Amino acid sequence: MHADPEASTDPVVFWEQRYGSSHRVWSGAVNRALADVAEHWAPGRALDLGSGEGGDVLWLAGRGWDATGIDLSATAVARANAVAAERGLARARCIAADLAAWSEDPAAIEGDAEPYDLVAASFFQSPVELPRERILRAAAHRVAPGGRLVLIAHAAAPQWSSHHGEEFPTPESELRALALADADWRVEIAEVRERAGRGPDGEVHPLSDSVVVVRRR
């Protein structure tokens, strides 16, 4: 993901500009990889990092999860909460907050004291400053025993992008960055998955996603 050269480099301003530029930025649907891995899991408490307009949070809440999303953009959060209210999804809530601050002090976010059965980060990548590895390591500490951490990331630039020199996460690099103890965690999935995506030309192209699922023992 790349920023407009004229866009702000301040993360809050950048994402507010991004979401404010359109009535809706994303489809509102769940990310397919999350649905694929979590479809048959028993519901519990879930946390979605960088929840955007709430597609994953709404899907989880609709399946019985008490789902919380955290995103930097108040505009995106307002859209997610509005859809949750329209659908009567009382189990869904999204909060506008800085995950960089949360990674250093989880108490910075009200109502975030209890551990989670699922912590997910879907395409938690940014063209502006984002201490991603620090946030994901902090996220692992919020997973309850028996719970899971799910990381889904762009593993390569799409064919239509002119920016192919950027370094993208791999399942191996994600696991190295997390530095989880084998005695405490079990790797359930660590692979690159292919899916179809529609480019700006309207044609369908293959996209590569890094998918990592680790479970706390």
Could you give the CA distance from residue 65 to residue 45 in angstroms, rounded to a whole number? 6
> Ranked by mean pLDDT, which of 1-15, 83-97, 111-125 comes out on top?
83-97
Identify whether 5 is part of a domain: no
Identify whether 87 is part of a domain: yes
| pTM of the complete model | 0.91
pLDDT digits (tens, 9 = 90+) for 130-164: 999 999 999 999 999 999 999 999 999 888 776 56
Q: Looking at residue 31, what DSSP letter applies? A: P
Q: What is the DSSP track for 45-69?
A: EEEEET-TT-HHHHHHHHTT-EEEE
Could you give the CA distance from residue 135 to residue 182 in angstroms, rounded to a whole number? 20
In this prediction, residue 127 has a pLDDT band, given cuts at 50, 70 and 90, of: confident
Identify whether 191 is part of a domain: yes
**Residue range 78-97: mean pLDDT, rounded:** 97
Contact 165, 128 (CB under 8 A): no
Identify whether 15 is part of a domain: yes
Contact 149, 38 (CB under 8 A): no
pLDDT at 7 over 90: no
Identify whether 4 is part of a domain: no
Q: What is the CATH number of the domain that holds 155?
A: 3.40.50.150
Identify whether 3 is part of a domain: no
In this prediction, residue 90 has a pLDDT band, given cuts at 50, 70 and 90, of: very high
Q: Which domain holds residue 161?
A: 11-216
Domain count, the chain: 1
